[in-house]
Amino acid sequence: MKIAILGYGLEGKAAERYFRELYPDATLEIFDDKLAETKIDFGQEDFSDFDFVVRTPSISPYLLRSAQKVTSNTIEFFAKCPCKIIGITGTKGKSTTSALIAAIMEEAVKTANEKKPLAFPRKVFLVGNIGAPALDVLQEIKKDDVVVYEMSSYQLWDLKQSPEVAVMTPIAPDHLDVHRDLEDYLESKKNIFRYQKEGDTLIRYGENPGSDTSMLQLRGKHNHENALSAIAAARAYNARFLGLEDADFEEAVDRALANFKGLPHRLEFVRVLGGVKFFDDNFSSASPALEVAMKSFDEPMAVIAGGFDRHLGNHQEIAESIKRAKDLRFVALIGQTAPKIALYLGDESPLALAKDKYKIFGNLPDAVAACFEAVKESGGVVVMSPGTPSFDMFKNFQDRGEQYQKIVNALAPANQPQDSLAPPSSIASALGEGTSPSCPTGNSPHILRRQIDDCALGKALFLAYVLSGISYYKAFPSRHVRLMEGVELLPAQVKLFDAAYQEGLGQFAYENKLTRADLAHFGERAAPSEQAFGFDGYDFNGKTAAFRYSVGDLRFTESVEFAEADLRPKVISMQSGGKDSLLLATMLKEQGVNFAPWFVRSGEHHPKVLDKLDNLLLATRKIDREGLAAAAEKGGKNGHIPITYVLQSLALVQAVLLGAKTVLGAIGDEGTEPHSVLPPLGKESSAGYEPPLAVNHQWSKTREAEELYAKYIKSEIGEGYKVYSPLRNTSELTIAKMFVEKCWKEFGREFSSCNVANYRQHADNRELKWCGDCPKCANSFLLFAPWLSAEQLTPLFGGQDLFAKERLYHTFKGLLGIDGVEKPFECVGSVEELRTAYHLSHPEEDGDYADLPFDVPPAE
């Protein structure tokens, strides 16, 4: 069989994965301009020798007449999907409507699963333009699940099957650079209901009165109309397929509307500065969307509009929409369409704007600054709603929106440096007198002895303060947190802190029967009367930081005493007494790097093995054990936290105090696959989506977590600061081999990776030990066995060959992926590399170690 896939974007790649699995012996050929030396002319290309051609969006079916058969991801999905489908199409509002439908169905399905449990609990899948590529999830879908499919005209173009529930949002001319004409565009849209059968439902925008949308938090009449369409579609699906009682269904609707926060770049609130509210409506690429935005505000408004010219002749329409805004103060025009829109803004009509009320700008920062200036006295709004595509100045609407938000978040009042992204002055005052309003730090003796990067220090302390709070937050987790008065987080801070308090607490949530919705959402504000976890401020005297937190009547105070030294290292190397960090220190020494090893202790002691490292720095973290004990007496929860994030943030503070700009962790390519996944609770949006939550003990050690942290450091701490692991691309098995080669002679009898025998709060960890019974011991035994003889390795474990230890058989099964035994909640290697280690240590002849009493499959 021979298959052609036309286009290699998201859907093209999904098609390749799907058809390679479906037809493993078939020949697949990819046709895409980015992969070809010359541009592909699909109208001239001969596809007659392919059994079938897979058309991806934007490639016209009219160009494929030579093909024997043409299909698409959408056609294939509709043919194979085992459950009923809610399909949504239109020009504007379809993504918001799709997300709202998914949110309502999530709540309804949650209730149905409780009241009418099935062998396979029902799930909701959001696919298409807004969600995952449909073919990527097809194999997961069961007959009682729900699919919400956002469908473009391209996906509908040649579809000959309609969903059981179809939704039409407003339609206006669009994509005419791809479709033959407006009629072709409209006819493709009609396929969403053209093939519906008796009993199927069509929902049209603006034809769905009678539902209460007062719980919806979004601005604009159009969003309430979208909500009415979403409720009508979900109600039709429930009546025919789900069967919830009316009262239960309406409760699900109310919960969904109340929790829905909207989608990125669709009238998305960005920030308040000096009383001015900034909104990002950069998804607006057609005049109807801009008109909707103009109708959504009563406040004094400045608007940014214009962009790529598609030659639709709608420049007057755009200008008229802008001029009809209720209290328009200023218009900033950008892009190719700016001169044409300007002609109609200042025309002879009764609504014509005075010449000083609009201006063409050559760049976005100047446009944003002018709009802010125009409304700052009146405390109005600045809205970027271009009404045109983005391709003249930006990659896409997401890029346009992200650049706009970055510019807005960098704005500062007149008395504050323009480039300041620092915590507000209330934090500065908490750090002592003599602080700058932009980049606070303590007025302390160390400043007299050395030049400190005050800006970076203030920001690093704030980062360490928030991340250290996880230790106390977990006692009584809540969705909302309350920051000290005057603190307004930037988007980058919200993103990192949400990840740490959600992804970083995946195992904690799993073990305490919580969901992502129960965990902290830093972008939301706590109600005044709501009990929320409180960040109450912190102090720093130049050496010791005191972090204060609270929940209800409980108060917590943690202190961290940082090391003082005359050293001026370029690098801080985090140490634990385990193999990875000792190997890293050895490698840095071999390479002549000016570094200082750094260890944070919880009591008076530290591992003696670290004394073999020159220039050792010791910090002391004193957790509020009394406060946590009081919390436990009141029923407080406990569990694993993303400790790597906490410790590397403290290390960053230490680095700044010593004039270093680089913090190195020692994290290899560990087995960081999740143990389980907590299901999604909503729909995709920057604020409202509650996506699946991975249950991963090692989340803060993952590549994803490191990259997120690195981006934060680069944008928020200061130029040149870095926190990363040089061992990131090195497997744990290779690290063990390198440790034996480089470090065994010096550290082999004194290091340990066992958490049971070491590293407990206030434990005497001067002499590191191995318990010989835990998953970490079994993992380390596996990793070192290929490189060491039993005579060398077993003395660490009291002379025991752990492969012969019966009570560890179950643990080894989990580590090696045998008989479905769950992988231990520990920082351990991947199944594949541990299987490799086992087979390397067990040659066919003359093995040095005992055999496990079960077959270990080879690594794939």
248, with CB counted inside 10 A (0-12, 13-18, 19+), is: middle
Tell me the pLDDT tens digit for each residue of 671-682. 666 777 777 664
β-pairing, 328-333 with 301-305? parallel
Tokens for 99? 């997300």
**Residues 694, 688: Cα–Cα separation, whole Å:** 18
Rounded mean pLDDT of 781-801? 94
* Sheet architecture: strand order including 276-280: 268-273, 276-280, 381-384, 301-305, 328-333, 358-360
Angle between helices 94-115 and 221-237 (to 10 degrees): 40
Task: Report the candidate in 762, 634, 616, 640 with the shortest Cα–Cα distance to residue 695.
Answer: 640
Q: State residue 486's pLDDT score.
A: 75
Strand partners, 695: 676
Rounded mean pLDDT of 555-563? 96
651, with CB counted inside 10 A (0-12, 13-18, 19+), is: buried
Q: State residue 859's pLDDT score.
A: 77
Collapse the DSSP code of 592 into the 3-class scheme (helix H, G, I; strand E, B; otherwise coil) and give the result: coil
Tokens for 654? 């230490």
**Residues 602, 476: Cα–Cα separation, whole Å:** 23
Query: Mean pLDDT of all residues in the chain?
Result: 88
pLDDT score of 464 more than 50? yes
Task: Report the candidate in 758, 794, 763 with the shortest Cα–Cα distance to residue 774.
Answer: 758
Tell me the pLDDT tens digit for each residue of 343-359. 999 988 888 999 999 99
Tell me the pLDDT tens digit for each residue of 387-428. 999 888 998 999 999 999 999 999 875 434 333 222 222 222
At 197, the pLDDT band (50, 70, 90 cuts) reads: very high
β-pairing, 124-128 with 146-150? parallel
> 470: how many CB neighbours lie within 10 A of its CB?
23
Window from 175-184, 430-439, 638-647 with minimum mean pLDDT: 430-439
pLDDT score of 295 more than 60? yes
Task: Report the candidate in 859, 829, 835, 583 with the shortest Cα–Cα distance to residue 697.
Answer: 829
pLDDT score of 437 more than 50? no
Can you give 468-479 as a three-state secondary structure string?
HCHHHHCCCCCC
Give residue for tokens 């928020």: 716
pLDDT score of 151 more than 90? yes
Ordered DSSP codes for 601-669: ESSS---GGGGGSTT-EEEEEE--HHHHHHHHHTT-------HHHHHHHHHHHHHHHTT--EEE----B
Q: State residue 240's pLDDT score.
A: 96
> 675: how many CB neighbours lie within 10 A of its CB?
17
Could you tell me which residue, 727 or 597, shows the higher pLDDT? 597
Task: Report the candidate in 63, 284, 252, 272 with the shortest Cα–Cα distance to residue 172.
Answer: 284
pLDDT score of 740 more than 50? yes
Collapse the DSSP code of 446 into the 3-class scheme (helix H, G, I; strand E, B; otherwise coil) and give the result: helix
Tell me the pLDDT tens digit for each residue of 601-639. 988 889 999 999 999 999 999 999 999 999 999 999 999
Tokens for 277? 């509210």
Task: Report the candidate in 666, 678, 674 with the shortest Cα–Cα distance to residue 699.
Answer: 674
Residue type, position 757, single letter: A
Contact 51, 27 (CB under 8 A): no
Contact 287, 321 (CB under 8 A): yes
**Residues 581, 739: Cα–Cα separation, whole Å:** 10
Q: Please state the pTM of the whole predicted model.
A: 0.52
Window from 115-124, 497-506, 668-677 with minimum mean pLDDT: 668-677
Tell me the pLDDT tens digit for each residue of 521-552. 999 888 877 889 999 999 999 899 999 999 99
Q: State residue 686's pLDDT score.
A: 42
**Residues 330, 319: Cα–Cα separation, whole Å:** 13
Tell me the pLDDT tens digit for each residue of 67-92. 999 999 999 999 999 999 999 999 88
pLDDT score of 706 more than 60? yes
Specify the DSSP class assigned to residue 804.
Answer: G
**Residues 593, 584: Cα–Cα separation, whole Å:** 11
174, with CB counted inside 10 A (0-12, 13-18, 19+), is: buried
At 860, the pLDDT band (50, 70, 90 cuts) reads: low
Q: State residue 422's pLDDT score.
A: 29
Q: State residue 250's pLDDT score.
A: 92
Q: State residue 342's pLDDT score.
A: 95
pLDDT score of 683 more than 50? no
Q: State residue 130's pLDDT score.
A: 85
> 732: how many CB neighbours lie within 10 A of its CB?
26
Q: State residue 692's pLDDT score.
A: 80
Q: State residue 672's pLDDT score.
A: 67
